[in-house]
Amino acid sequence: MAGTPNRFQLIQQFAVTAAQMQAIETRIFDAGMPVAALMEKVALNITRHLLSILHSEYTSTPVNLIGVLVGPGHNGGDALVVARELLYRGYRVLLYSPFSKHKPLTADHFRYAASLGIEIVEAIAQLADCDLIIDGMFGFGLERPIQGDLAQIVETVNSWWNKPVFSIDIPSGIHTDTGLVLGTAIRATKTFCLGLWKLAFLREEALPWLGTSELIDFDIPVTDIHAVLGVSPDLRRLTPELARSHLPIPLPQNTHKYKQGHLLIIAGSRRYTGAALLSGLGARASGVGMLSIAVPESIKPLLSFPLPEALIIGCPETDNGAIASIADHINLDSYDAIACGPGLTADNVSVIQTVLNSHRPLVLDADGLNLLAKLDPVTTLSNRQAATILTPHRREFKRLFPQLNHESHTSIEGSREAARLTGAVVILKGARTCIATAESVIINPESTPALARGGSGDVLTGLLGGILAIQSRRSQPPELSAQVAVWWHSLAGIVAASDRTELGVDAFTLTQYLNLKQLLSHFPQFTPNGNIPRYNN
């Protein structure tokens, strides 16, 4: 169990809109912090971090000449302070600002930079020979699409495809709240998000533009954050500390196997045998006390060997080799949790009806969701007494909830709406998986495209089912099991991809990376900037 989060761990859990960031900033200024002093502090923190990156990551292709794009507002002001500091550190810096007017503080920094002899160029083409571009054109003040000459400038920078571009706060052209491109946008190699994570960083739409992103802390007081966002905001980032704090360890010394949860997986068909196996391997990694797997009778022998610890139960099957009905001797209500769906085929709605009628916490995935879609998901789920966790990807989600406006709903709003409609926990899977309840949405900010692969969802279902079975014994809310499983699964994918490349993470391999001890040993590198926080205020 992780301890109470310190300030740095806490700010990693928050995400803000532009308006919220402005409100926080206003409180800081109203309390007496001079605007110029804050800009100086922020930009010095950016510079320090930038220099550490140049010294560690750009050793074989050293950076000497740095081009800085300067916007009219305070994003441009930040960039000018960074430019000045880089000059002091011995870098040659070129400034380019396609604006005739700047906010007063930005204009002052510009004048001072010029007085120091920093070169100011008149056309974007003059930055073509730079080793690195710093994008300080627009931050959260972007208020309309980038058009005309400005759009040309952005396109020119993007055409230098092998030149690193570091964006300050957010890539210019990306809307802070929606993550959408307004007109056109800088395609950053890295983005230094300032103070608090902006909402765009949790939006899949923005990912192609953000590059790798890092939070540059500038000591925003927690009281100001709480004053604007509340103590427990309804939208949060799933941090490692948060997920770890919900892990079911250490186990009670006097526990026994039934107290550690009994999971029933209902999965597989003659056609999709592997789905049942992958779910079983996912469940094994969860540490669940007892594992039973119901499959069509004919594939039972295929599971007994690789999963010797599991009780494999054969069910009557259809001509196609799908489960026809749940075996008579299975009492669904005797399990601590049920995970149903992988590889079932979409043939037989009665199976899912039986499962939904049980009174146990339930994970529905894959064909379980496709079958649910044939019923009336909202009414059916609203009527369930026990917890339900749905794990759809986008396509399954659309099928389940055709009444939602999928054009305008993003994952965050869509998953929240679905959770409100059904009372279920909705895990909407994607590059930024959302875990929604009727009250809140938690978003997983760390994942890997390596998980976009057949079978990876089956592994998650088993892992989640196992955690849910353990935790339902401890009366833990189901959404916390969902958070643990999503984090665990994505961390396994990240570590597997770093060992084997993103192409090397087939679903079976993924199951071999679920070893929690090994994953936790990788943990320090997932704290921002590799820093162990020094403070506890």
Ligand X SMILES: NC(=O)C1=CN([C@@H]2O[C@H](COP(=O)(O)OP(=O)(O)OC[C@H]3O[C@@H](n4cnc5c(N)ncnc54)[C@H](O)[C@@H]3O)[C@@H](O)[C@H]2O)[C@@H](O)CC1
* Residue numbers belonging to the annotated binding site for K(+): 75, 135, 172
Considering only the stretches 146-154, 172-180, 359-367, 461-469, report the one whose residues sit in contact with K ion under the rule CB under 5 A: 172-180
Residues flagged as binding site for (6S)-NADPHX = 74-78, 139-145, 169, 275, 343, 393, 458
Considering only the stretches 12-20, 169-177, 271-279, 396-404, report the one whose residues sit in contact with K ion under the rule CB under 5 A: 169-177
How far apart are the C-alpha atoms of 38 and 25, rounded to whole Å? 9
**Helix, strand and coil in the chain, % to nearest 5:** 45, 15, 40
Token digits of residue 45: 């923190």
- Whole-number minimum distance, CB 381 to ligand X, in Å? 41
Residue 172 interacts with K ion (CB under 5 A): yes or no = yes
Q: Out of K ion, ligand X, none, which partner does residue 103 contact, by CB within 5 to 8 A per kind?
A: ligand X
Nearer to ligand X by Cβ, of 103 and 409: the residue is 103
The DSSP element (H or E) to which 456 belongs, if any, is helix 456-472
How far apart are the C-alpha atoms of 192 and 171, rounded to whole Å? 9
How far apart are the C-alpha atoms of 275 and 38, rounded to whole Å? 54
Choice from 11, 46, 146, 419 touching ligand X (CB under 6 A): 146
Q: By C-alpha distance, which of 385, 362, 366, 389 is closest to 456?
A: 366
Choice from 3, 144, 328, 407 touching ligand X (CB under 6 A): 144
144-150 contacts, C-beta under 8 A, 24 or more apart: 144/182, 144/183, 145/182, 145/183, 145/184, 146/172, 146/173, 146/182, 146/183, 146/184, 146/185, 147/183, 149/98, 150/98
Residue 103 interacts with ligand X (CB under 6 A): yes or no = yes
How far apart are the C-alpha atoms of 141 and 146, rounded to whole Å? 12
Residue 78 interacts with ligand X (CB under 6 A): yes or no = yes
Residue 140 interacts with ligand X (CB under 6 A): yes or no = yes
Q: Out of K ion, ligand X, none, which partner does residue 42 contact, by CB within 5 to 8 A per kind?
A: ligand X
Amino acid occupying residue 157: V
- Whole-number minimum distance, CB 170 to ligand X, in Å? 7
- Whole-number minimum distance, CB 169 to ligand X, in Å? 4
- Whole-number minimum distance, CB 42 to ligand X, in Å? 4
Choice from 36, 51, 91, 141 touching ligand X (CB under 6 A): 141
Cβ atoms within 10 A of the Cβ of 96, count? Answer: 22
Q: Out of ligand X, K ion, none, which partner does residue 73 contact, by CB within 5 to 8 A per kind?
A: ligand X
Cα 517 → chain centroid? 22
Token digits of residue 372: 């649910």
Binding pattern for the stretch 36-75 against ligand X, x by CB under 6 A and - elsewhere: --xx--x----------------------------xxxxx
User: Which residues inside 77-136 make contact with K ion, applying CB under 5 A?
Assistant: 135
Name, in order, each residue with C-beta under 8 angstroms of 354's C-beta and a sequence gap of 6 or more.
325, 326, 332
Nearer to ligand X by Cβ, of 180 and 386: the residue is 180
Nearer to ligand X by Cβ, of 98 and 423: the residue is 98
DSSP-H helix ranges across 186-328 = 207-210, 222-229, 240-245, 273-286, 300-304
Residue 171 interacts with ligand X (CB under 6 A): yes or no = no
Q: Out of K ion, ligand X, none, which partner does residue 210 contact, by CB within 5 to 8 A per kind?
A: none
Q: Out of ligand X, K ion, none, which partner does residue 167 contact, by CB within 5 to 8 A per kind?
A: K ion
Choice from 70, 130, 193, 194 touching ligand X (CB under 6 A): 194
Q: By C-alpha distance, which of 431, 355, 419, 413 is closest to 390?
A: 419
Token digits of residue 197: 């994570």
Residues at the site binding ligand X, with contacts judged by CB under 6 A: 21, 25, 38-39, 42, 71-78, 103, 138-146, 150, 168-169, 194-195
